[in-house]
Amino acid sequence: MRLALDTNILVYAESTAPGAREDLARVLVQRLPPDRLVLPAQVLGELFNVLTRKAKLPAAQARSLVTRWMATYEVVPTSADVLDEGFELAALHRFASWDAIIVAAAAQAGCRYLLSEDMQDGFTWRGVTVANPFATAPLPPPLAALLAANG
């Protein structure tokens, strides 16, 4: 089972602030097998933006952090096909275009889940289900089993 991570998971994992979301994001990244995780290129661009603008990190440091993510996980490029499918999703379901591109990239990579707190939990499109790991509702059983098996 392949999974994609949304920007917010990476932002929380990179945070130095203590907190439930930050701790859970780090646990997710540690427990999920690296060969099953993919990162849409859009996510990495957004991460760089958050690190430089909101976290006020120097661009060189932000680049280093993003490069580490790129070296660790498979990156799904934002191809013309991904853009086209993302625009279709945005038009049909009123998704923000950037979020739709992330979902389309996850679908193109054959992911079963996209972990995100910013999109509609439980929404499914082209075989990808958005799962909010920070929600009070339990995670989908296959995802919970994967985390338990690697914990």
Residue 87 belongs to domain spanning: 2-149
Instruction: State the pTM of this model.
Output: 0.93
Assign residue 133 the CATH number of its domain: 3.40.50.1010
Residue entry with tokens 């992911």: 111
Domain count, the chain: 1
Distance CA 45, CA 35 (A): 21
Q: Reply yes or no on whether the pLDDT at 151 is more than 70.
A: no
pLDDT tens digits for range 41-76 = 999 999 999 999 999 999 999 999 999 999 999 999
| Percentage above 90 pLDDT, the chain | 81
Where residue 143 falls among pLDDT bands split at 50, 70, 90?
Answer: confident
Sign of CA dihedral 127, 69, 55, 78: negative
Helix (H) or strand (E) holding 128: strand 128-131
- Spatial distance between the Cα atoms of 9 and 24, rounded to a whole number of angstroms: 9
Residue 141 in this model has a pLDDT that exceeds 90? no
Query: Looking at per-residue confidence, does 150 or 29 come out higher?
Result: 29
| Calpha distance 16→118 (Å, rounded) | 21
